[in-house]
Structure 1
Amino acid sequence: MPVPERPDGGKDRRSAVLIAGPTASGKSAFASAIGRKHPAVIINADSMQVYRDLSILTSRPTLGEIDAVPHCLYGHVDASETYSVARWLREAEQAIGAAWAAQRLPVIIGGTGLYFRALERGLADIPPIPESIRLKWRSALREEGSVALHRILCERDPQTAASIRPSDSQRIVRALEVLDTTGQGLRQWHGDHRGARLLDDRVCIVRLLLTPRRDQLYQAIDRRFVQMIETGALEEVRALSARGLPSSLPAMKAIGVAELTAVIEGHMSLDDAIARAQLRTRRYAKRQMTWFRNQMASWSAIERPDPSQTESLLQSLAL
């Protein structure tokens, strides 16, 4: 287990554990094992687990897990809202500060790499987007679609466009809004970070990246989606679909929502829906692993998390 640097040698320094990894890699179980050994608060860093309507499909912690170890930033956002990195950063900083005030160890876990990057590097101070520009690009998305807007972004800001998939309508629209508002691309803005306010050199940090073997990860993904169906995922999507929310909302794009909606509407068999959702999840996990390898090369990699490792981790933090 890695030993974090303690430049001032003090025993009263604040500590934090960051655990990143692809979906279904065992992050939650490992974090819970830490929480059973030492007073901790588990703080979510997954962009889909924030949505209240998606407990099963996003594998949110169970009530038993939450009773055993306090959890924050899970299921606190309605599916009708668009949750942002900036909002997560504000709420995560508050949760981390509250954990330290209560003399608990903040354990930040998730698969959304942008959240971890924002936590450690901060966010650029981008000005507010005027409502006229916001409406302009929202309307363009409805009329032309994300692929057409991505082509526009490629012409105007190729550097940012290269980092966004043509199907990622939310990020494409955001990039065009920022470009219209400021005359500067998102990639340029992201190069000008304000300092992170909590996880700086005064904090003793362990950074862990779970890197399971791909074949084992894919098997876990496939098993987990079947378990989701067995524990009520179809009913969960039925309730969400009944709300009639726009398909452009992030919660409506969660893997499994479109597939199970097709089952409910009689357009797809359940077996086909399961197979398609499993394939989408495997592809998503592959993209996550690529991002982590490129952006978190300095993190300590663990192929298979072992709860017994928590003892040495806590010792490295002098807890």
Structure 2
Amino acid sequence: MQFAWPTVEQVTYRVMRLRRLIAIAVTLPTLVLLAVTISDPTVLSAAHATYAALGIAGLVIAHAVLFPNVTLETVALSLSATTLVIAMPIIKAVSHWAPEPHQTALFILLMGFALAATGVVMAFFQIILGALVYSGPLLNKPLKTSMTVPCSPRVARQQFSLRPDTRRGRILTSVADDNGFFDVAFAAAGVPDDDGDVTEELIKVDAKVMHECEERHDVMMVLRNGSVTVTSQKFVPHEEGCEVQVSDLPGDFTYGMHALFWLTDQQADNLTETHDMLTGQEARANSLSHNVSLLSVAGTVLSPRAPETKRVD
């Protein structure tokens, strides 16, 4: 899936859904800039720190809205932009080493190098964050969320529950075998390749319904790596329709993956996808949008490739 500009409704939804990510990505640089200002106001004045914090906040919000599925890149952008702001007084001091008529030109040249270095630092931060998130001990802790939908509990159970021999949105399931297991295929947007093209990927798991009644639906999913995830859904009557309560117990989540899931409010985003499909609203879920990142866009712009022409001899 190629990059697509968000609609006004999607912008509002992404800011709301990624509110925790935005808050963390704005708070961290603000605290760093505040510490630098307090420790040495000559390096970074309070006014400049305020402008820098507001600029970083705007940059983070814009990145989260335009690239909602690259969470680690959003945090890396925040950290690298903070590094650039702290380095600017040093860059200005170095530019004063040149003769006075050439100081402005040297400052512009150094800022150009600094912006390029910021991209490298951003990629480095993203690698470090990825290692921290996906490594380390596992945490067996349930993930819980809920959402109210304008329909009866029976309709909600049919739309939200994972059952054999069904097709709903991006999910396709097979007929259950003699042991109750059935195949589940999730269509997900892939990552850009060397030519900038993004193709859909299929994520396949084995599933089995462990318990099913009018008020509850429990499913066990076995991933290809052997880990097991158990999902329990409850459908409680509500004055506005039905409250869908979801509890997931993943078998392969590290501490960092739990934090990442919480930052992006991923469970609620998954429910939003089905909610919008059920109510006929415009698709807003981040899981349905592209996986294009700022670094991939920058790479395409800075190093474009001519389209390959395929010929048959």
Instruction: Tell me the TM-score normalized by structure 1.
Output: 0.25
Q: Which has the higher strand share?
A: 2
Larger Rg: 2
Relative contact order, CA 8 A, sep 6+: which one is greater? 1
Instruction: Tell me the TM-score normalized by structure 2.
Output: 0.25
